[in-house]
Amino acid sequence: MSQGDIRLKRAYDTPADNDGKRILVDGMWPRGVKKEEADIDEWLKALAPSKELRQWFGHDPDKWEEFQRRYKEELKNSPDAMKKLREYHKNGRVTLVFAAKDEKHNNAVALKHVLQKNS
């Protein structure tokens, strides 16, 4: 079976039938989102950046390159969750769900890059 593609979607956006496996990659449940409405297939909290890294970054675009480097290092501490995510990706489309307002500078974007480089 060919590898699926990776999509990104905010938790506040309406789920779509073509999202594939919807995986929440944040450490906390998105504020104001009901679980039944989010249609999350799996919540991989272990893939969220540490509280320290998240606070240091603060979605500052000037810190983006360094955030990605540090986050990639942190992901090495979650081999089981990364293995699970790679399996989902190998078997079809995956949508990484995140809550951040900044759609260009967040952990889901960085995680997508890591997945694509290591596939």
- Cβ atoms of residues 68 and 98 within 8 Å: no
- pLDDT for 10-32, tens place per residue? 999 999 999 999 999 999 999 99
- pLDDT for 34-61, tens place per residue? 999 999 999 999 999 999 999 999 999 9
Identify the pLDDT of residue 118: 72
**pTM of the prediction?**
0.94
Give the residue extent of every domain in the chain.
6-117
